[in-house]
Amino acid sequence: MSSLAAVEVKVHFAGVKAVDGVDLQLAKGEILGLIGPNGAGKTTLVNALSGFQRLTEGAVELRGDDITDWSSHRRVRNGVVRSFQAVRLFPRLSVFENVEAAALAARRNRSAARRRTRELLIEFGLADRADVDAAVLPHGEERRVGIVRALATEPEFLLLDEPAAGLNEHESDELGDMLRTIRDDVGCGLCVIEHDMRLIMSRCDRIHVLAFGQTLAVGPPAAVRTNPAVIEAYLGAA
């Protein structure tokens, strides 16, 4: 099975063990939630997987091959794409142009990029916003366009850093439906860093819990929800 994996990954900063010996595996076609308290090492681990952070020890593997020394650009070209907490669309470009720019970056020619952009906007309910400038999008739509832009690069593994940040309950539900569509129709493996436990518990196939840079628990939502260590460290008695 095609997978993206962290193997005994350690990332230390001047004595701070941000990630300290974590094994993580993301399979193609699954949604993996990555949760934990603030400072648990979630973003640092995703940075390591996507090539934005050098490892202190360990390895990152893609389809069984060691890609630890690959640049982030090379990883993108080979199907490992990440989003950031700040969407950072091009504000003076339209929604269509923002997505088209990413499709062009995926080495498509202009006509193929435009065709793929139209397909994605239709599939994810944004076709009627194609000509709207990104600068005037409401927050929820801005988040969705950011994910569609990432999809235009044709990822096999998509790593999302807090995609539900700032969304209301209805927008969070729409995002959850979008994640399942990406998994089922596009076939991506999705790793989602998120604090919205309603979204995580309802949409993820598995959940990986970090605390103090180490793995606290891994398993399906039902098992993680009732894990005493996870409750104590993160979820709370309620």
Count the domains in the chain. Answer: 1
Residue with tokens 């999302």: 160
CA atoms in the 13 A half-sphere facing the CB of 85: 11
Arithmetic mean of pLDDT, 85-109: 89
Round to whole Å and give the CA distance between 208 and 221. Answer: 9
Indicate whether 116 belongs to any domain.
no
Instruction: Quote the strand ranges of 48-133, DSSP E.
Output: 57-62, 65-66, 80-82
Range of the domain at 83: 3-88+155-235
* Rounded distance between C-alpha atoms, residue 81 and residue 50, angstroms: 7
Are 49 and 4 contacting, i.e. CB atoms less than 8 angstroms apart?
Answer: yes
Is residue 114 situated within a structural domain? no
Question: Cβ(52)–Cβ(10) under 8 Å?
Answer: no
Q: Is residue 62 in a domain?
A: yes
How many Cβ atoms from other residues are within 10 Å of residue 210's Cβ? 27
pLDDT value at position 106?
A: 79
Measured distance CA(43)–CA(159) in Å, rounded: 10
Contacts of 13 (CB under 8 A, 6+ apart): none
- Tell me, yes or no, whether 18 lies in a domain: yes
**180: in domain:** yes
Give the chain's mean pLDDT: 93
Domain of 55, CATH number, reads: 3.40.50.300
203 assigned to some structural domain: yes
pLDDT band at 157 (very low <50, low <70, confident <90, very high): very high
Residue 126 domain flag: no
The string of pLDDT tens digits covering residues 171-195 is: 999 999 999 999 999 999 999 999 9
What pLDDT score was predicted for residue 235? Answer: 65
Phi, psi of 209, rounded to the nearest 5 degrees: -105, 130
Q: Sorting pLDDT into bands at 50, 70 and 90, what band is 88?
A: confident
**Residue 217 within any structural domain of the chain:** yes
